[in-house]
Amino acid sequence: MRKFRTIIEKMPISFSGEYELLSFYQDDYNNYYVPKELTFKMLDSGMSVPESSKIRLNTTEVQELMDRLWGLGFRPSDMKAPEETLSATQNHLKDMRTIVFEHFLKGKKDA
């Protein structure tokens, strides 16, 4: 079974925020396959991307890539900061306490 791996590391002595990306395949016999050369070709108008230019990943491989990026500190652009999420949760719990204690429990005392 083919195993696709991607290694992403911050470049040593780099203040520009650059990262090195190494992608390779590993087969069942522990052989490693690395890209020989990466070249870019301009697509003619209306031309679709050839299948040979695509790298296919299964769910596990995508998860490994995401985990590695997360470990390097990358987060989705639209992800809310933990403080914002916690604040929303705290507000929700406060509202729930108000509903329970002021409406339900107060109503039972008066009955």
**pLDDT: which is higher, 9 or 80:** 9
Q: Are residues 17 and 44 in the same domain?
A: yes
Q: Are residues 87 and 106 in the same domain?
A: yes
pLDDT of residue 76: 85
Q: Which residues pair with 19 in a beta bridge?
A: 10
pLDDT of residue 34: 86
Q: Are residues 32 and 66 in the same domain?
A: yes
23-82 per-position pLDDT tens digit? 888 888 888 888 888 888 889 999 998 888 888 888 888 888 889 888 888 888 877 666
DSSP E strands: which ranges in 1-111?
3-10, 19-26, 32-33
Backbone angles phi, psi at 21, to 5 degrees: -120, 125
Q: How far apart are CA 100 and CA 22, in angstroms?
A: 55
Structural domain including 46 reads 3-77
pLDDT of residue 37: 82
Q: Are residues 16 and 53 in the same domain?
A: yes
Q: Are residues 33 and 71 in the same domain?
A: yes
pLDDT of residue 111: 52
